[in-house]
Amino acid sequence: MTTTQLPVLFLNDLVVLPGMVVPIELDETARAAIDTARSSADDTLLVAPRLEDRYAAYGVVASIVQVGRLAGGEPAAVLRAERRVRIGSGVAGPGTALWVEAHEIEDPDADTDEVRKLAADYKSLVIATLQRRDAWQVIDTVNRVTDPSALADLAGYAPYLDDEHKRQLLETPSVRERLSTLIGWTKDHIAEVEVNDKIAGDVREGMEKSQREFLLRQQLNAIRKELGEDEPEGAQDYRTRVEEADLPEDVRKAALREVGKLERASDQSPESGYIRTWLDVILELPWDTKTVDSTDVAAARAVLDADHHGLEDVKDRIVEYLAIRGRRAQRGLEVVGGRGSGAVLALVGPPGVGKTSLGQSVARALGRKFVRVALGGVRDEAEIRGHRRTYVGALPGRIVRAITEAGSMNPVVLLDEIDKVGSDYRGDPSAALLEVLDPAQNHTFRDHYLEVDLDLSDVVFLATANVLETIPQPLLDRMELVSLDGYTEDDKIAIARGYLLPKQLELAALRSDEVEVTDGALREIAADYTREPGVRQLERLLAKALRKAVTKLSAEQAPETLVITTGNLRDYLGRPRFTPEAHERTSVPGVATGLAVTGMGGDVLFIEANAVEGPAGSNRGGLTLTGQLGDVMKESAQIALSYVRAHAIELGIADPSVLDRQIHIHVPAGAIPKDGPSAGVTMVTALTSMALGRPVRSDVGMTGEVTLNGRVLPIGGVKQKLLAAQRAGLTTVFLPKRNEPDLDDVPADVLSAIDVRLSTDVAELVRQAIEPGSTAGETTLAA
Q: Which residues are catalytic?
A: 678, 721
User: What CA–CA distances, in Å, run from 701 to 325, 596, 633, 673?
Assistant: 45, 10, 18, 21
Q: How far apart are CA 691 and CA 655, in angstroms?
A: 8
CA 724 to chain centre: 40
Q: How far apart are CA 5 and CA 44, in angstroms?
A: 10
Q: Which of 535, 471, 485, 469 is nearest to 718 (CA)?
A: 485
As annotated, the binding site for ATP includes 349-356
Give buried/exposed letters for 662-700 (b at 16+ CB in 10 A, else e): bbbbbbeeeeeebbbbbbbbbbbbbbbbbbbbbbbbbbb
**Contacts of residue 744, Cβ cutoff 8 Å, sequence gap at least 6:** none
Sequence length of the chain is: 783
Yes or no: say if 56 and 50 are a contact pair by the CB < 8 Å rule. yes
Instruction: Please report the DSSP string for 467-524 in residue order.
Output: -STTS-HHHHHTSEEEE-----HHHHHHHIIIIIHHHHHHHTT--TTTEEE-HHHHHH
Yes or no: say if 550 and 524 are a contact pair by the CB < 8 Å rule. no
CA neighbours closer than 13 Å in the CB half-sphere of residue 38: 13
Yes or no: say if 127 and 151 are a contact pair by the CB < 8 Å rule. no
367's torsion region: left (phi>0), alpha (psi -120 to 50) or beta? Answer: left
CA neighbours closer than 13 Å in the CB half-sphere of residue 744: 4
As annotated, the binding site includes 349-356
Strands 343-348 and 370-374: unpaired
Provide φ and ψ at 263, rounded to 5°. -65, -30
Yes or no: say if 6 and 99 are a contact pair by the CB < 8 Å rule. yes
